[in-house]
Amino acid sequence: MAVLKYTLLRLATFFIIFGACLLLEVGMVFALVAGLVGAWAVAYLFFNRLRLEAGAQVARKVGSDTRRRSRSEQSDNDAEDALAEDYHEDR
């Protein structure tokens, strides 16, 4: 839910800045750049807590490794870990 809130706030900020620039008739390219940079700056400065929550939510979703490993894959992983530990103990 935090990702949706953050995205909607950032898009709303972009469109407000973009629309204001278009009303001031500063040009389409400048309005686009000002909207992008302005939305980034406002979100970074004022929506920091929400940005961090959204980032954590995405990290939990993407980083979760819930699949079960086969016995052979688990034994391979254990052997690699043991080999790496032995290597680092020797140094």
Contacts of 70 (CB under 8 A, 6+ apart): none
**Reported pTM:** 0.65
pLDDT of residue 23: 97
The three-state secondary structure class of 55 is helix
**Rounded distance between C-alpha atoms, residue 88 and residue 90, angstroms:** 5
Between 28 and 73, the more confident residue is: 28
**Rounded distance between C-alpha atoms, residue 14 and residue 47, angstroms:** 14
Summarised one tens digit per residue, pLDDT across range 14-72 is 999 999 999 999 999 999 999 999 999 999 999 999 999 999 999 888 876 666 778 88
pLDDT of residue 44: 92
- Give how far Cα 22 sits from Cα of 26, 40, 52, Å: 6, 18, 31
pLDDT of residue 57: 92
Number of domains in the chain: 1
- Residue 8 sits in which domain range? 2-90
